[in-house]
Amino acid sequence: MSTTSPLTPAGLRCAHLVNPLGVAPDRVRLSWWLEGGGRDRAQTGYQVVVTPDHGRADQGPAGWDSGRVASAATADVPYQGHPLARAGRYSWRVRVWDEAQQVSAWSEPARFEVELDPDTGWRASWIGLGPIKEEFRPPAGAGPADPLRHAMNPAPYLRRSFKVSHPVASARLYVTARGLYEARLNGERVGDAVLTPGWTDYGKRIAYQTYDVTGLLRPGENVLGALLADGWYAGFTGFDAKRAGAHYGAAPEFLAQLVIEFADATGTSTSQEIVTDGHWRARFAAIRHADLLMGERHDLTREPHGWDAPGFDAAGWHPVGCRDLDGTPLVADPGPPVRVTQEIAPVGVSGDVDGQYIADFGQNLTGWLRVTVHGPAGACVRIRHAEVLDSDGRLYTQNLRTARQTDEFTTSGGPEVLEPRFTVHGFRYAEISGYPGEPGPGDIVARVVHSDIPATGSFESSAPWLDQLFRNIDWGQRGNFISVPTDCPQRDERLGWLGDAQVFARTACYNRDVAAFFAKWLDDVADAQHESGAFPDIAPRLSIPWSGSPAWGDAGLIIPWTLHRMYGDTGVLRRHFAAMTAWMDLLERDNPDYLRTHNLGNGYNDWLAPGDDDTPRELLATAYWAHDAALMAEIAGATGRPEQAAGYRALRAKIGSAFADAFVAADGQIVSGTQTAYVLGLHMRLIPEELRAAAASHLVDAIRSADWHLSTGFVGVGYLLPVLSSTGHDAVAYRLLEQRSAPSWRYMIDQGATTIWERWDGWTADHGFQSASMNSFNHYALGSVGEWLYRFVLGIDQEPGSAGFQRLLVRPHPGGPLRSARGSYRSVHGLIASAWQREGGQFRFQIQIPPNVVASVRIPSADGSGVRDAAGRGPAGIAAFPGAAGVQEAVFEVGSGTHEFTGPPARAWAGEPPL
Ligand code: BGC
């Protein structure tokens, strides 16, 4: 008889989202985690029951009872029941059997709703109000405005009045735009998402959102309304300073289908649909322009108050233009919505001589301001945004290039809230001019805007600057994950660069649950793939020709693999398998001698490496190709394709030999001798095993000769510290981390950085700001060091071959100046928490492991034997600490629960060579 209570399933998700209202049938994969005390807990079986909601006769025979499945799986469980009904509503529950065969209670029910039938489910038409251009005034000094390139549209207001004559049982609003929309129902905003429907290649796929609007309807007259803006569809997008008329379309359009279900006395449901069609009326009003890069201008004296509610006289509103659906796939948004996630009060507001105020929010962030004014009508309040101040204390905006990031408001009198809704700015500072009177406390706040992705990681240590680095990395992620992963949020770029995303992907996964976010974006990547198989450099594709640059194009394969490793997600591998093989076929076709010398696309190489980027292009390219082949072998294996896995292993071996022949000398030196060349060779295991230690020493020599500075750009940086730590050079890794002069992470922090800079020398005392043409202060790529904090400092990692943190490899690497570190990662299996302290001549390590997970805990030690667990037991085994000659590790194999280990001083174990 077990004395522990049964495990409890919790945290139910479908397609990585909590209770999604729109999900494609082939994305219905279920997951949960387990809660329960005690040690060595495990799931031995599960039963999932999916039931259609009652009262919907159209759902047919449906649902799924898996019966008891003998399995440890708690994630990535595909739905295997009757075909799911389009627009069907389902609830689902799970119960589990534990290691003692005790069965849990049923979980709390979770829900999902299936997307509309893409072919027959839509009865709405696209509607819009033709463009009336407003002249865009370019920033001072930018030359005359080119009317074609610079005109911006006012935002259309659209409305439709309709009657509801029966009691409403439920109602759903399916809604999207080519452009951006804010939907309104009876005077209320529908939902809390912003910048909807997000960015896709609108010619290939358009995402829509589904809202439960049951509670917003009322008997009698109702009004469905919408505000529309240009967004990525018709606004300034990217760096070519033209409106997206050139990319997608000239003016925004709206599409909505409101489905209302009534329950009559007999219980049979009837329904009513309100769709976008010729019955709608529209006009331009207060929002004179709204653009993602340029900002917004509102003339609040022109606001038609009450326009989105019943009882409004819409005389004078115009008929809308209508266009039939053209077959572009409409898909339920698979990603998390963009939301306002936080409000930040200024840490200081200074008035300057011209009557302008500069607010400092103490944090470089992405979002906008909400400013409250109390004053007469007709005041013109202008808000400019910048990441940094210049030496005179004014906003430094040159690095924004043509992005104006300026919001302007003409007030209508009385207390009023000034706030944009269809733009986003990257800033720490805002200059407010024309404010009537003096702002009081609470009158100025920054609202933080990004894809609302749950945080999963934490880190704190005895070094405040390292904690700041961790926060800067996460803020960089928050500011740049806005519907797609962008390079930067402030200048006229903000593009979904694949290289940046792949180097940062693993860090991103530790910080936040990005499974759904990346799932959405990988569809954008697939949409942008060239028919030759070339993955693009940016997705959604825009302006730049397909290119498939090494380390950029490879993201099309590396990111799905990373999602599989981190989340155990095989759905994403299956979905993109054909795209990945097409990419591999292309590389092999073009490079028959197994060196990747052809098709290097735009060839960004080790982008922004300090000094000269001397890493040979074909070396970097071939290393990535070999890496791709190794990952493809794993991907093919994980999706049940053993023959293809063997083929990719053989390909990997051929590329590996070609690489070694071409680039690695007999003494382990690598051609060019750059840090990045060594890092790639070592990380991708392209240096013959017997030369690994020698090559790692050459890497250390290269770092020493740079006076203990790194010289890596975007591509080398992510693997630099992991390679040093896994080849026995923790001390060097910590020394790079501690380095205070540029190039280094800590240098940025010493300059007051609150996000990660694009360039190691974004600002220096000698040269001031780096070239204004490319100098973002919020670019996450160099923040890919975050992965090292989790995997090496905290030791939260998994065994090779494990996916979704089922089998942990817990190997902390204490060292450098750190006296302690603690942190956690909430994996798909639940919370993994690690903490260590070096004190009183002892190293203490605690690890919390969730149920259904096993861990190999490795504590480095001089001879391994002195390490004890809390019960005083010694290790199950002693092994060599990887890469560190003469250093051992004590090995403990443990299951779930909290475990503590104590051993001799860390410094002696870390194998730190004299520097
Ligand atoms: C972007 C990068 C990107 C790069 C390609 C830059 O303009 O800001 O982050 O990866 O171009 O080399």
**Closest atom of ligand 1 relative to the 714 alpha carbon:** 10
Cβ 521 under 6 angstroms from ligand 1: no
Identify the pLDDT of residue 358.
Answer: 96
Ligand 1 midpoint to CA 51 (Å) = 47
**Closest atom of ligand 1 relative to the 239 alpha carbon:** 7
3-state secondary structure of 557: helix
Cβ 497 under 6 angstroms from ligand 1: yes
Ligand 1 midpoint to CA 312 (Å) = 49
What is d(CA 33, CA 760) in angstroms, rounded to the nearest whole number? 40
Torsion sign across C-alpha atoms 482, 293, 158, 410: positive
Identify the pLDDT of residue 131.
Answer: 67
Ligand 1 midpoint to CA 357 (Å) = 33
Cβ 492 under 6 angstroms from ligand 1: no
330-332 and 206-212 as β-strands: parallel, antiparallel, unpaired? Answer: parallel
Ligand 1 midpoint to CA 774 (Å) = 9
- Asked if 570 and 638 count as a contact pair (C-beta separation under 8 A), the reply is yes
Ligand 1 midpoint to CA 547 (Å) = 13
At a CB cut-off of 8 Å and minimum separation 6, what does 441 contact? 345
- Please give, one letter per residue, the 3-state secondary structure of 605-674: CCCCCCCCCCCCHHHHHHHHHHHHHHHHHHHHHHCCCHHHHHHHHHHHHHHHHHHHHHHECCCCCECCCC
Identify the pLDDT of residue 267.
Answer: 60
What is d(CA 79, CA 64) in angstroms, rounded to the nearest whole number? 8
Q: How crowded is residue 505: how many other Cβ atoms within 10 Å of its Cβ?
A: 25
Cβ 757 under 6 angstroms from ligand 1: no
Structure tokens at 41: 């807990």
Cβ 866 under 6 angstroms from ligand 1: no
Torsion sign across C-alpha atoms 509, 511, 517, 523: negative
Mutate-to-test residue for ligand 1 from 495, 535, 537, highest number of ligand atoms within 8 A of CB: 495
User: Nearest Cα to 172, choosing from 216, 115, 210, 208?
Assistant: 210
Report DSSP state, residue 793. I
- Residue located nearest, by CA, to atom 12 of ligand 1: 604
Identify the pLDDT of residue 915.
Answer: 38
- Residue located nearest, by CA, to atom 11 of ligand 1: 497
Cβ 513 under 6 angstroms from ligand 1: no
Q: Tens digits of per-residue pLDDT, 628-679?
A: 999 999 999 999 999 999 999 999 999 999 999 999 999 999 999 999 999 9
- Asked if 798 and 486 count as a contact pair (C-beta separation under 8 A), the reply is no
What is d(CA 761, CA 748) in angstroms, rounded to the nearest whole number? 8
pTM for the whole thing?
0.96
Helix (H) / strand (E) containing 581: helix 571-590
Q: Which residues of the chain have pLDDT under 50?
A: 1, 138-149, 908-915
Which amino acid, residue 308?
D
- Residue located nearest, by CA, to atom 8 of ligand 1: 487
Q: Strand pairing partners for 430? A: 359, 385
What is d(CA 850, CA 827) in angstroms, rounded to the nearest whole number? 9
What is d(CA 736, CA 740) in angstroms, rounded to the nearest whole number? 9
Cβ 780 under 6 angstroms from ligand 1: no
Mutate-to-test residue for ligand 1 from 402, 487, 780, highest number of ligand atoms within 8 A of CB: 487
What is d(CA 483, CA 485) in angstroms, rounded to the nearest whole number? 7
Mutate-to-test residue for ligand 1 from 497, 538, 608, 758, highest number of ligand atoms within 8 A of CB: 497
Catalytic residue from among 99, 253, 493, 634: 493
- Residue located nearest, by CA, to atom 3 of ligand 1: 497
List the beta strands (DSSP E) in 56-125: 64-65, 77-78, 89-98, 110-113
What is d(CA 623, CA 208) in angstroms, rounded to the nearest whole number? 39
Identify the pLDDT of residue 152.
Answer: 85
Cβ 299 under 6 angstroms from ligand 1: no
* Phi, psi dihedrals of residue 888, rounded to the nearest 5°: -110, 165
Respond yes or no: is residue 35 known to be catalytic: no
Q: How crowded is residue 574: how many other Cβ atoms within 10 Å of its Cβ?
A: 16
At a CB cut-off of 8 Å and minimum separation 6, what does 120 contact? none
Q: In what order do the strands lie in the sheet with 796-798?
A: 796-798, 807-810, 854-861, 888-894, 877-880
Ligand 1 midpoint to CA 779 (Å) = 9
- Residue located nearest, by CA, to atom 2 of ligand 1: 487
Q: Residue for token digits 């005077």?
A: 187
Cβ 499 under 6 angstroms from ligand 1: yes
**Closest atom of ligand 1 relative to the 500 alpha carbon:** 10
Cβ 607 under 6 angstroms from ligand 1: yes
By the 10 Å C-beta count (0-12 exposed, 13-18 middle, 19+ buried), 438 is classed as exposed
Ligand 1 midpoint to CA 538 (Å) = 9
Q: Tens digits of per-residue pLDDT, 886-909?
A: 778 999 999 999 999 999 865 544
Ligand 1 midpoint to CA 565 (Å) = 26
List the beta strands (DSSP E) in 53-167: 64-65, 77-78, 89-98, 110-113, 126-128, 156-164
CA geometry: angle at 470 spanning 497 and 195, to 5°?
45
User: Residue 517: how many CA atoms within 13 Å on its side-chain side?
Assistant: 25
**Closest atom of ligand 1 relative to the 487 alpha carbon:** 9
Cβ 517 under 6 angstroms from ligand 1: no
Q: Residue for token digits 């030791």?
A: 795
- Residue located nearest, by CA, to atom 5 of ligand 1: 604
Ligand 1 midpoint to CA 497 (Å) = 7
**Closest atom of ligand 1 relative to the 488 alpha carbon:** 8
- Residue located nearest, by CA, to atom 1 of ligand 1: 487
What is d(CA 675, CA 217) in angstroms, rounded to the nearest whole number? 63
Mutate-to-test residue for ligand 1 from 604, 617, 771, highest number of ligand atoms within 8 A of CB: 604
Report DSSP state, residue 14. E
Which amino acid, residue 516?
A
Respond yes or no: is residue 493 known to be catalytic: yes
What is d(CA 207, CA 189) in angstroms, rounded to the nearest whole number? 19
Taking each helix axis as running N to C, give the angle between helix 692-705 and helix 714-726, from 0 to 180 degrees, rounded to the nearest 10: 120
Mutate-to-test residue for ligand 1 from 543, 607, 759, highest number of ligand atoms within 8 A of CB: 607
Mutate-to-test residue for ligand 1 from 492, 500, 715, 717, highest number of ligand atoms within 8 A of CB: 500
Cβ 606 under 6 angstroms from ligand 1: no
Q: How crowded is residue 314: how many other Cβ atoms within 10 Å of its Cβ?
A: 16
Cβ 487 under 6 angstroms from ligand 1: yes
At a CB cut-off of 8 Å and minimum separation 6, what does 860 contact? 811, 812, 813, 814, 881, 884, 887, 888, 889, 906, 909, 910, 911
Ligand 1 midpoint to CA 574 (Å) = 29
What is d(CA 440, CA 687) in angstroms, rounded to the nearest whole number? 63
What is d(CA 145, CA 133) in angstroms, rounded to the nearest whole number? 13
- Asked if 764 and 742 count as a contact pair (C-beta separation under 8 A), the reply is yes
Identify the pLDDT of residue 60.
Answer: 59
- Asked if 460 and 812 count as a contact pair (C-beta separation under 8 A), the reply is no
What is d(CA 165, CA 647) in angstroms, rounded to the nearest whole number? 65
Cβ 239 under 6 angstroms from ligand 1: no
Cβ 504 under 6 angstroms from ligand 1: no
- Residue located nearest, by CA, to atom 6 of ligand 1: 487
Q: Strand pairing partners for 412? A: 377
Cβ 493 under 6 angstroms from ligand 1: yes
Residue 198, sorted as left (phi over 0), alpha (psi -120 to 50) or beta, turns out to be left
Catalytic residue from among 113, 115, 296, 758: 758
**Closest atom of ligand 1 relative to the 498 alpha carbon:** 10
156-164 and 220-229 as β-strands: parallel, antiparallel, unpaired? Answer: antiparallel
DSSP notation for 191-258:
SS-BSBT----TTT-EEEEEEE-GGG--SEEEEEEEEEE-HHHHSB-TTS-SBGGGTS-SS-EEEEEE
